[in-house]
Amino acid sequence: MRAILLFIALLLAGPATAAACPPLLDLKLPTLTEGEASLCRYQGKVLLVVNTASQCGYTPQYEGLEKLYRRYRDKGLVVIGFPSNDFGGQEPGSNKEIAKFCEVNYGVSFPMFAKSAVAKGTINPFYARLAQVSNSRPRWNFHKYLIDRKGEKVLAYESAVTPSDPKLLGAIERALAQP
């Protein structure tokens, strides 16, 4: 009898569906170029999320971020940029100007979302979640968050930690090795 009830319950439930999007990623946000995009598209990937700026001393990190993305994207890493003008007014351009700057100067091919606040004012909701989960808020441009494949574990790295820093590379490789 128990087996029959279980069978009926499975039939009523319908076909199995893909895993639900992790709460951390369950957002749609505007991108630099495509309109809105769901962060759920990155579930199952390791994410390196970075708040960027075009006129900052750390701006050359774009080059290292692009190298990281190209090196590890086939293994499941996605670098995601979030331009912000929160620190020193170092990202004054429009989304269109930022997109052009990134492409022309650094050949950025990783996903870039629209310019938004990451530390003050009306904070981007994704950054509000990242700050809460990691207990770390960006204090300057090029602050980094590393998110595991499950969208649960979040590590934070200060701006001075470069994309080629052994500590960051080791954490990325460990995250990529996890199912």
CA atoms of 113 and 110, how far apart (whole Å): 10
Long-range pairs of 18-21 with CB within 8 A, sequence gap ≥ 24: 19/43, 21/151
CA atoms of 13 and 51, how far apart (whole Å): 42
Q: Which of 26, 86, 79, 84 is nearest to 49 (CA)?
A: 79
Distance of CA 12 to CAs 8, 9, 16, 49, Å?
6, 5, 11, 40
The set of residues, in sequence order, having a beta carbon less than 8 Å from that of 88 and lying 6+ positions away, is: 53, 56, 141
Torsion angles phi and psi, residue 14, rounded to 5:
85, -175
- Which residues are catalytically annotated? 56
